[in-house]
Structures are given as structure tokens and as C-alpha cells.
Amino acid sequence: MSLKDFINDAISPWMSNEGEDNDIVLSSRIRLARNLEQVPFPTSSDKDSLNKVLEYMDQELTNQSFQDFKQMKLVRMSELEPVEKRVLVEKHLISPNLAENNETGAALISQNEQASIMVNEEDHLRIQLYYPGFELSTALKTALDLDDWVEERVKYAFDESKGYLTSCPTNVGTGLRASVMMHLPALSMTNQMSSIVPEINKLGLVVRGIYGEGSEALGQLYQISNQTTLGKSEEDIVEDLRSVVKQVIASERKAREWIQNQSGIQLEDRVFRSYGILANSRVIESKEAAKCLSDLRLGIDLGLIKEIPKNILNELMVLTQPGFLQHYAKKTLTPRERDVFRSNLIRERLKLEG
């Protein structure tokens, strides 16, 4: 497989589109947790019942299309190699939880990979929709339409007072998790994230690094999502998230401007050195790669670097995860070998833009 094919394989087609505020918000996601009436929820169900859910969804939705989401395809966990599952997790198309369910787990994925429905994860169905940029309202509207389309085929577990019923009480009500993936390099450089995160948490939202462990956010990529799913309408939940994200966007823009004014040449130096390392290193750890990719992306957003497309950050953050690297290498790699393959892949990728 050529590198170009591999990248096309790695990058979901929707990712190459651009949405609102895409200098800071990389993508918006809506996820709806749904369960079928009259079947015990996955957490308390037996294999046969869940298999029936799976077969039914397969029969009803495989090869179906809804709006732009053509040709839903069913991928059974039992049929995947470990590295293939890992790749789907790294593309955020399935959860690590689902990957472990070899008995009854599956995912229906649209051709453009923008819509996916996990089957027999924690709930019978988890409908997911991604949009590039800051497009929460559109994403919600479309997700609810998609939800209605699914509901034409199944009867959801629904309670008039509580709303949609789910395995975990934290999802009861709307079953909605709305989130955005944000790139916040300037707020990180100016050490503002440590005060912003608790502020956002106080508002009932959750901020976490998308890559990395603990408080460390690799690539300065953060996910902000709602925590509450009950007691508010879907539109209100999304609107509350939207208004906070708007504020974070404004703060990040202000911080970028401040840094440029304060230390334009140092910032430029940082951006180009990171580019130089990405384009030349022969061994690179994921942490350093993420830092350099974040700098590079900031340089693109600030107009310092023109010949490289914006989505190099999301693209290479995905491509250089362990699963993808091993998929590309076609073999199991030690961490040290991964560092070599990671640097090769980044170099070759940047050369394509030469």
C-alpha cells in the first residue's frame, strides 16, 4: 500500500472538510445512547439476546444510506485482528470497550465514516456523528434525524418522565454526549489551561486531553463535553456547551495574538524548529511528535507556514498512534521500533507536501 493510500485509509473522508472556527475547533461530535425495548441492556443481558440485536441491526441497516451517510457497513469485532480494532479505536470510530466485546460487539459505519452506530457497547446502540470544525448545532440536528431514521426500525426503551433509558444512570434522559475537539496551544503556552480547566468543570462540563495520560494533553488537544444528560433538552445541552466553547475560542485567539505581539520571532522560531524536527528526525517519541505537530499546526493557523494543510495535526496524531504504525509496518513493533517508524512516517508524509 502506498503512503497516500494508507493516509486515505487512516483519515476519515469528512476530516478533510472545513467547518466553523476550524483554526481552533478541529471537530464536533454528537453521541446518542439508545437501547431497545424488551431486550435486557448489554450490562445485564445474555449473549443470545445481544446476538439477536446485532443480527437485527445488520439486517435492517447494512448497506442502507441516510442523507450523506451512504452504505452503512457492519464490522463485527469477532472478525477483526487486534491491530485492526486498535486502528478503529484510534480513528475514534469505536470505543476500547466495544473492541473487547468479541462475542456480540459490532459497529455500523457509513462510507464517509462521519456516522457510526456501535452495537452492544455499554448500550445496545450508540449513534455517533462527527463534523469538522465547530458545528455542534448542525451535528445535533443531523444526529436527531439519524436517530429518527433508526427509530423507524426499532422501539427504544423510553420513559415519559426520565427520557431515554441507558445502562449507566449518567446517560439517562437525553442519552446525549456532545463534545468538541479543540487545539489550544496558546492557552497552554501561557499556562492558562490550569485555571481554565477547573472553571469549565464548575459549569458542569468536562475537559480532558484527547491523547496522553493524567493532566498532560498531548498535542494540546482537548475535548470539552457535557456531563449532564438529564433535565435539559438536547438543544439546551448543546447551547450551554456551545457558549462555553465560544469563550474558550475567544481566549485562545487572544492568547495567540498576545504571544505574537510579545515574541513574534521566538514563536516563529519555535514553529519552524518543530517543523525542522518533524521533517528530519530519525527517531521520535509520541510526546515530542505531538508537541511538534501542535507547533506546526499553530504555525499554519497563524499563516507562518503555507504549504502544509491544516489537518496535518489530526491526521498525523492518528497516523502515529501505535495501532496505525503497526498497521503500516505490517508487524508488531516494540516501542523503540515505533519511534523509528513514527519518524519515517511523519517525514514521508511531509514530503508529500514538498
Q: Return the residue of 273, 287, 331, 351 that touches a second copy, per CB under 8 A.
A: 273
Shortest Cβ 347–a second copy spacing (Å): 9
Within positions 318 to 347, which residues make up the interface with a second copy, using CB under 8 A? 340, 343
The type of residue at 310 is K
Q: Does the protein bind a second copy through residue 281 (CB under 8 A)?
A: yes
Provide CB contacts within 8 A for 148, sequence distance 6+: none
Q: Any bridge partners for residue 206, and if so which?
A: 225
Q: Return the residue of 20, 239, 268, 285 that touches a second copy, per CB under 8 A.
A: 268
Q: Does the protein bind a second copy through residue 283 (CB under 8 A)?
A: yes
Closest CA to 123 of 229, 222, 17, 28: 229
Q: Does the protein bind a second copy through residue 265 (CB under 8 A)?
A: yes
Q: Any bridge partners for residue 180, and if so which?
A: 28, 224
Q: Any bridge partners for residue 36, and if so which?
A: 156
323 labeled binding residue: no
Q: Does the protein bind a second copy through residue 307 (CB under 8 A)?
A: no
Q: Does the protein bind a second copy through residue 282 (CB under 8 A)?
A: yes
Q: Does the protein bind a second copy through residue 68 (CB under 8 A)?
A: no
Q: Does the protein bind a second copy through residue 275 (CB under 8 A)?
A: yes
**What is the C-alpha separation between 91 and 94, in angstroms, rounded?**
8
In this complex, which beta carbon is closest to a second copy, that of residue 230 or of residue 279? 279
In this complex, which beta carbon is closest to a second copy, that of residue 99 or of residue 284? 284
Round to the nearest angstrom and report the end-to-end CA distance of the chain: 21
Q: Does the protein bind a second copy through residue 276 (CB under 8 A)?
A: yes
In this complex, which beta carbon is closest to a second copy, that of residue 13 or of residue 276? 276
| Alpha helices in the chain, H assignment, sequence order | 3-10, 47-61, 82-90, 96-100, 136-151, 185-189, 193-202, 234-280, 286-301, 312-319, 322-329, 335-351
Backbone angles phi, psi at 160, to 5 degrees: -55, -40
Please give the annotated binding residues, written as ranges: 27-31, 92, 126, 177-181, 208-213
Site for a second copy, rule CB under 8 A: 265-266, 268-269, 272-273, 275-277, 279-283, 340, 343
